[in-house]
Amino acid sequence: MLYREAGDFKTSYVADSQTFPIKFDRFGYYAILAIAFLGIPLVINDYWANSIVVPFLIYTIAALGLNILIGYCGQLSLGTGAFMAVGAYGSYKLMTAFPELNIIFVIIAAGVITAGVGVLFGLPSLRIKGFYLAVATLAAQFFLIWLFTRQAWFYNYSPTGMISAPTREVFGFPVTGPRASAVSMYMICLCFLVASAWLARNLTRGTLGRQWMAIRDMDIAAEIIGVNPLMAKLTAFAVSSFLIGISGALLFTVYLGAAEAGEAFGIDKSFLVLFMVIIGGLGSIFGAFAGAAFLIVGPVMLKLLLVNTLGWPTDLAAHLEIMIIGALILVFLIVEPHGIAALWRTIKEKLRLWPFPY
Amino acid sequence: MPDNLLFAMEATLNGLTAGVMYALVALGFVLIFKASGIFNFAQGVMALFAALTLVGLQSGQVPFAHLINAIFGTRIHHFGWNMPTLLAIPATVLVMIGLAILVERFILKHLVNQEPIILFMATIGLAYLLEGVGDIMWGAEVKALDVGLPKGMSGAVDDLTFGWFGYGFYIDRLELWAAGIAAILVASLTIFSQYTKQGRALRAVADDHQAALSVGISLRFIWVLTWSIAGIVALVAGIMWGSKSGVQFSLSLIALKALPVLILGGFTSIPGAIVGGLIIGVGEKLFDFYMQPIIGGATENWFAYMLALVFLLFRPQGLFGERIIERV
Amino acid sequence: MLDTQSDEGYITADGRKIGGVAMEMRNITLRFGGVVAIKDISFDIRWGEIRAIIGPNGAGKSSMLNVISGFYHPQEGEVIYKGYKRPKMKPYQVARQGIARTFQNIALFEGMSVLDNIMTGRMHHMKANMLQQALWWGRASREEDENREQVEKIIDFLEIQHIRKTPVARLPYGLKKRVELARALAAEPSILLLDEPMAGMNVEEKEDMCRFILDVNDEFGTTTVLIEHDMGVVMDLSDRVVVMDYGKKIGDGTPDEVRGNEDVIRAYLGVSHD
């Protein structure tokens, strides 16, 4: 009864096209922001930050990025892992080359570098489509990982072949390195996520976003009515890679602290983020959040249940997890190709009419 | 003859035999793609699953023993008998046919008329599902697979090349066998699709689903048929790879190698899959041989994809594929 | 200026004044491999007129439209637009020059709402750069609002207010055709190409569509080129008609002239070729 649009009249097109047209949603959104920025920092501890919250924030950024490419522009990519690696190694090289540079700028710059690499590997998308493009992005995946593991310049000739993040501070609080506290890790990731989501939302609701969707829905018709496919696809690759690069940079600098490309950014990462996008919902900003939450929280819960409670061996739990994820992908693609976001939308539509359905 | 050239020739030969393996996996892809327009990412995992099942049956493992033990606290693992290979292979074939039926019943049927990109992602899901099931059913540890194929250095090749060049090439006998079996497989598949009623139906479905339906071909039967054949091809590939380097997870990764093979050969061409496999096999060995001193090793990881990428840019339909015509 | 023959146009039967030559097709020949789809066809399109292209199935009408919109590039001949020879350009560049079109098999963006589809048609009127759009700042939000207003006018004009926010995939066929027209109109085109705008419609829907086409021409003075099978509709709507058969032009003139043309009658009624 609370959830309805009746009586909430829009008198301008600005009001009509806002992100949350329904009052209840708007308040909910502000409430969530308030809790995220003011509430959670008070209660967060190392366990929650490390096992769920920080990875959720970081992977959501990656899922947002990939969703722009696949969900909005219809270009399939299996190179997410490698693009995250570009962000990670980019931030590492910048941090070590310019120790004075603020970490925030380092991460943004890493995103820009990744955007450049993304555009480069996005060029084939002008000639090829669908899973052909997927193979082209696989080339990026394997080539870049090879580059980062075999060419010593990228890991500063460290004998282990690993890169590790030195301590950097924001407003005097260390956010990277071993001294970083749970709260500061959480806050920097949250800020980047909120900014990314806002950016993604703005881009997808404007003329650029419509051009992406036009290419996704019917590329030839889009070109004939005036969409420049080169521009549309490459901007999608650029924005998508930018966000994925930021996510990779955060994953390495803030969360992992040390990484090796093959281990941390292998093809399984590409699939993980792809699955987040599918389960969350293709072509939906909310879907990126939902998908990341599902695939970060789900496995933790499953492990808690099977290993800690039932005492099953960890490898069995891991296999079961793989199996369940695979099955879920199939179920979602068959039942609801637009994922959790579409389920959520259906619930809201029902709610609008509740309790009087006519 | 200079040593360098000899080594290069040996690398080429090794590449050819590796290429046969790639081609075998790619063949499974082509079959399914032709009949259902689905790019089956799970083909590699199917090979793994088939090999796991074969080993499991041979050694009399109890399926899902691990799971059962975890739930009921039992300690079962083997039935205590060994199934002869000649019995285990047909049994595995039955399992693969069963799998094809399940795939059709629970997945394909519900995804008719979906976009190719959705179908592709569905097969990625299937790959994960199957991998998980395989691991839970038979355990994830590396297993040796022996179906009685000869292994070790081929003395004949060694003698022959020693006679020619004064340097004996090393070739595994297993790989020679694999090449032979692949040839037989391709020949029989060609005969099947050209000269049998089911083969014609299969080609009709590949051409136009609705038209095939309207002349009374059962789409569902054809799908089960192709997935069964692809399952059998996966079994053959699984046996070959498994005998060579043990049955383990990495086996499913050959599916990834098959992708560039298909780009080169074209998605719809059986000879294309073979030639593409050979080109990739030889290409990556030679590239690694010549480039290792300059840019470092392990270029096999990406060479095939980069080659495919170059191909995609200049000849998107592959060497033997049908030309893509766009319309509004 | 290549074109020197731009005369002053003519007055139609119902008293509308038609302007000079907007676009001229000169000796267009289009081949696909060995198949000749269009054989040496020339005709012109004048400002403000409704120009129909008719002909039996496979006559090459849609190919002709695809040549005009730059999707096919003819092997021979040239397209003169606004007095200049048009160089070989990509379809989106042609669209940018003010040529909008609809498609024979509806080509709407199924995943988007009606409003978004029509807004896509206005993309050339939106110049905000990527950064402005990302920050939704300055030009980006202002343009969105201004263009929304223009789009709402078209929505009102075509009477589709009630489905504004509906996803296109949920619409019935007739409405989809109307949305497609709206998308083309949103571009404020100089020349509007309509590929069988009335195919598969019932009488009522056809009447509506006819009214819209005439109203568009009346209100905005949009030059319209349309392909249509329904002879009655074509003869009523159009000012001049090009008749094609087997890739050749067999007639060109006002509906009355064309109706009396021997070749046209033969192509349509199938008088035996001797």
pLDDT in tens, C218-236: 888 899 999 988 888 888 8
Q: What is the mean pLDDT of residues A335-344?
A: 83
Share of chain B above pLDDT 70, in %: 95
Taking CA–CA distances from B326, the nearest residue in chain C reads C71
In a domain, residue A33? The reply is: no
Does any domain span residue A214? yes
Q: Hey, which residues does B153 pair with through a beta bridge?
A: B172
Report whether pLDDT(A181) > 80.
Answer: yes
Residue A296 within a domain: no
Within an 8 Å CB–CB cutoff, is residue C193 touching chain A?
Answer: no
Element (H, E) at B161: helix B155-165
Chain C hits for B326, CB-CB cut-off 8 Å, are none
C-contacting chains (≥3 CB pairs under 8 Å): A, B
- Cβ atoms within 10 A of the Cβ of C142, count? 13
Residue B118, H or E segment: helix B116-138
How is residue B83 written in tokens? 């199934």
In the block, tokens 């950064």 appear at C131
Do the Cβ atoms of A91 and A249 come closer than 8 Å? yes
Q: CA quadruple A325, A327, A330, A335: dihedral positive or negative?
A: negative
Task: Give the model confidence (pLDDT) of A71-109 as tens digits.
Answer: 999 998 999 999 999 999 999 999 999 998 999 999 999
Angle among Cα B302, B305, B306 to the nearest 5 degrees reads 85
Q: How confident is the model at residue A233 (pLDDT cuts 50, 70, 90)?
A: very high
Whether the link from the prior residue into A166 is cis, omega within 30° of 0, is: no
C107 has a chain B CB within 8 A of its CB: yes
**Interface contact A330-B129, CB threshold 8 A:** yes
Chain C residues 226-255 with a CB less than 8 Å from chain A: none
Question: Over chain C, what is the mean pLDDT?
Answer: 88
The answer to whether B262 and B318 have CB atoms below 8 angstroms apart is yes
Q: Is the pLDDT of residue C17 over 90?
A: no
Cβ contact (<8 Å) for A329 and B124? yes
How many CA atoms within 13 Å lie on the side-chain side of B68?
A: 13
CA distance A135 to B260: 7
Structural domain contains residue A347:
no
pTM: 0.89
Q: Name residue C241's beta-bridge partners.
A: C52, C253
Q: What is the mean pLDDT of residues C242-248?
A: 90
Distance from CA of A135 to the nearest CA of C (A): 25
C133: Cα separation from own chain's centroid: 31
Which residues of chain B are within 8 Å of residue C105 when distances are taken between CB atoms?
328
Give the tens place of pLDDT for each residue, A71-81.
999 998 999 99
Residues of A in contact with C170 (CB under 8 A): none
pLDDT tens digits, one per residue of B246-286: 787 777 777 778 888 888 887 777 788 888 888 888 988 88
pLDDT of residue C109: 93
The first and second tokens of residue B131, run together, are 């991998």
Q: What residues of B are in contact with residue C104 (Cβ under 8 Å)? A: 328
Q: What pairs with residue C38 in β-bridges? A: C30
Q: What integer pLDDT is reported at residue C1 of this predicted model?
A: 37
| Chain-chain contact of B313 with A326 (C-beta, under 8 angstroms) | no
User: Given CB atoms, is B126 within the 8 Å cutoff of chain A?
Assistant: yes
Chain C residue with the nearest C-alpha to that of A217: C109
The predicted model gives A168-196 an average pLDDT of 90
pLDDT of C110 above 60: yes
- What is the value of ipTM here, to two decimals? 0.88
Q: Looking at the complex, does the CB of residue C164 fall below 8 Å from at least one CB of chain A?
A: no
% of chain B beyond a pLDDT of 90: 10
CB of C144 closer than 8 Å to CB of A206: yes
Report the residue from A74, A134, A146 with minimal CB separation from B302.
Answer: A146
The answer to whether position A130 is within a domain reads yes
Contact call for B129 and A334, based on CB within 8 A: no
**Using CA atoms, how far apart are residues B134 and B136, in angstroms rounded to an integer?**
6
**Where residue C28 falls among pLDDT bands split at 50, 70, 90?**
very high
In this structure, is residue A210 part of a structural domain? yes
Task: Enumerate the H helices of chain A as residue ranges.
Answer: 13-16, 23-34, 40-43, 46-48, 54-67, 80-97, 103-122, 130-150, 182-205, 207-217, 219-225, 229-250, 261-264, 267-280, 285-303, 314-335, 339-353
Nearest to A323 among B70, B118, B136 (CB): B136
Beta carbons within 10 angstroms of residue B197's beta carbon: 8
Is C123–A235 a contact, with Cβ atoms under 8 angstroms apart? no
Q: Is C106 on the interface with A (CB under 8 A)?
A: no
Residue A170 and residue B326 in contact, taking contact as beta carbons nearer than 8 Å: no
Q: What is the pLDDT of residues C51-109, one digit of tens each?
A: 999 988 888 899 999 999 999 999 999 999 998 999 999 999 999 999 999 998 889 99
What is the rounded distance in angstroms from the CA atom of residue B57 to the CA atom of residue B61?
6
The length of chain A is 358
Q: Cβ distance B170 to B13 under 8 Å? A: no
Q: Which residue has the higher pLDDT, C128 or C1?
A: C128
Question: Nearest CA of chain C to the CA of A249: how many Å?
Answer: 21
| Per-position DSSP letters for B25-81, written without gaps between them | HHHHHHHHHHHH----TTHHHHHHHHHHHHHHHHTTBPTTHHHHHHHH-----B-S-
pLDDT of B94 strictly over 60: yes
Pairing of strands C223-227, C50-54: parallel
Length of chain B counted residue by residue: 328
B195 CA: distance to closest CA in chain A (Å): 31
At A6 the pLDDT is 63
Greater confidence (A251 vs B40) lies with: A251
What is the per-residue pLDDT across A278-297, written as a single tens digit (0 to 9) for each? Answer: 899 888 999 999 999 999 99
Q: Does B294 reach chain A within 8 Å, measured CB to CB?
A: no
Average per-residue pLDDT for chain B = 82
pLDDT digits (tens, 9 = 90+) for A13-44: 777 777 777 777 788 888 999 999 988 888 88
Instruction: For residue A57, give every residue at least 6 positions away whose Cβ sits within 8 Å of its Cβ, in sequence order, or none.
Output: A186, A189, A190, A192, A193, A250
Does position B132 have pLDDT exceeding 80, yes or no?
Answer: yes
Domains held by chain A: number? 1
Q: DSSP string of C111-161?
A: TSBHHHHHHHHTGGG----HHHHHHT-THHHHHHHHHHHHHHHHHHHTT-G
Q: Which chains sit next to B, with 3 or more Cβ pairs under 8 A?
A: A, C
Q: Mutating which of A125, A272, A329, A331 best tests the B interface, going by the most B Cβ atoms within 10 A?
A: A329
Mean pLDDT for the stretch of residues B107-117: 81
How far apart are alpha carbons A231 and C25 in whole angstroms?
Answer: 30
> Considering the domain boundaries, does residue A65 fall inside one?
yes
pLDDT of residue C271: 58
Selected residue of A198, A225, A234 to mutate for chain C interface (largest C Cβ count, 10 A): A225
What distance in Å separates the CA atoms of residue B222 and residue B233, rounded to the nearest whole number? 16
- Helix boundaries (H) for B246-317: 254-265, 270-295, 300-314
pLDDT on residue B1: 57
Say which residues have a Cβ less than 8 Å from residue C8's Cβ, sequence separation at least 6: C19, C20
Contact B60, B78 (CB under 8 A): yes
Residue A187 pLDDT: 93
Q: How confident is the model at residue B323 (pLDDT cuts 50, 70, 90)?
A: low
Residue whose token pair is 């079962």: B76
State whether B117 and A138 contact (CB < 8 Å).
no
Of C101, C123, C144, the CB nearest to A227: C123
In a domain, A158, yes or no: yes
Share of chain C above pLDDT 90, in %: 50
The closest CB to that of A333, out of B122, B128, B308, belongs to B122
Tell me which chain B residues have a C-beta less than 8 angstroms from the C-beta of A145: 301
Report the pLDDT averaged over residues A197-217: 93
Query: Could you tell me the residue range of the domain that residue A120 belongs to?
Result: 46-266
Distance of residue B200 Cα from the nearest chain A Cα, in angstroms: 27
Neighboring chain B residues of A221 at a CB cutoff of 8 Å? 328
